Structure 1
Amino acid sequence: MSKSLNILLIEDDAIEVMKFHRVLATLKMNHKIIEANNGEEALVILKEREIIPDIIILDLNMPKINGIEFLQILKADDYLKYIPAIILTTSSNHREVMECYRIGIAGYVLKPLKYEDYVDRIQKMLSYWSLNELISR
């Protein structure tokens, strides 16, 4: 049975955030989105622990703390390291992909150019994590 997720979306581009929300509304997915504009803001949200997300979706190219730096901090924390982190980015740089998997990401999804393809990828990704047995904390 699929469940509603608490998703921490770390994205500095307001248009990308709106697009993500639009996809969820279009697909009638009832997930709770917690937004952070960059890795630094996301770390504050995570340290407060008011809402611990089920998954984290983040871009790599962000100001202040980029995606890879954020992942290194996240995976070094004994409490937060179990939260699945999925990269959603335009970067197909092989070195970045390999570094992210080395750090311990749960997935790497490229943002396609066509909106219909974007909708399809988001739907598949969130459907999987809605069914997945997440580690309880």
Structure 2
Amino acid sequence: MKKVKTIYYLDDDYDDLGIFREIAEELGHNVKVFSDGRKMLLTLEIQAEKPDFIFLDIHMPVLNGEEILEIIKKSEDLKDIPIVMVSGAYPKKLLQYCSDLGVSCLIKRHNFQEFKQNIAEVLKEFELTNK
């Protein structure tokens, strides 16, 4: 039986938050969504139980995904949580940046089934590499 994962998802687009939540819940996981990076970081700081995965939208106001990623990677308590960067576009520089930090990238899809399949593949990949 598959273990239910807790996933945090940060995105400033409310439609994308709803779609991601629906997909992750259909895949059998618990999801906490955030539209503000500062609130997510505060929750990470005060919650005793950490999420199994964090998905970060790259283009965010105030603190963007890259800035939040750097904060998380510098934290002793958070640095080992698998992170997936999510964006509608992937320039080579960003892909290299994520690769250098050992972070996966996920392209936002407007096709629900395709996006669901991509999310499931990323989660499965993490499970296989962390056995």
TM class by shorter chain equals 0.7 to 0.9
* Equivalent in the alignment of 1:119: 116
* Equivalent in the alignment of 1:71: 69
Alignment of 1:1-137 (within 5 A): 1-25=1-25, 28-105=26-103, 107-129=104-126, 133=130
Q: Distance in 1 between matches of 2:97 and 2:130?
A: 26
TM-score (norm 1): 0.83
Number of positions where the alignment pairs a residue of Structure 1 with one of Structure 2? 131
Per-residue deviation, 1:15 = 0.2
TM-score (norm 2): 0.87
Identity of aligned residues (%): 25
Per-residue deviation, 1:129 = 3.9
Unaligned runs of 5+ in 1: none
Residues 1:133 and 1:96: Cα distance change in structure 2 (over 3 Å): closer
User: Secondary structure of 1:18's partner?
Assistant: helix
Unaligned runs of 5+ in 2: none
Higher RCO, 1 or 2 (CA under 8 Å, sep at least 6)? 1
Q: Distance in 2 between matches of 1:129 and 1:53?
A: 14
| Partner AA of 1:17 in structure 2 | L
RMSD over aligned CA atoms reads 1.9
User: Secondary structure of 2:96's partner?
Assistant: helix
Contact 1:2–1:127 (Cα < 8 Å) also in 2: no
Contact 1:11–1:62 (Cα < 8 Å) also in 2: yes
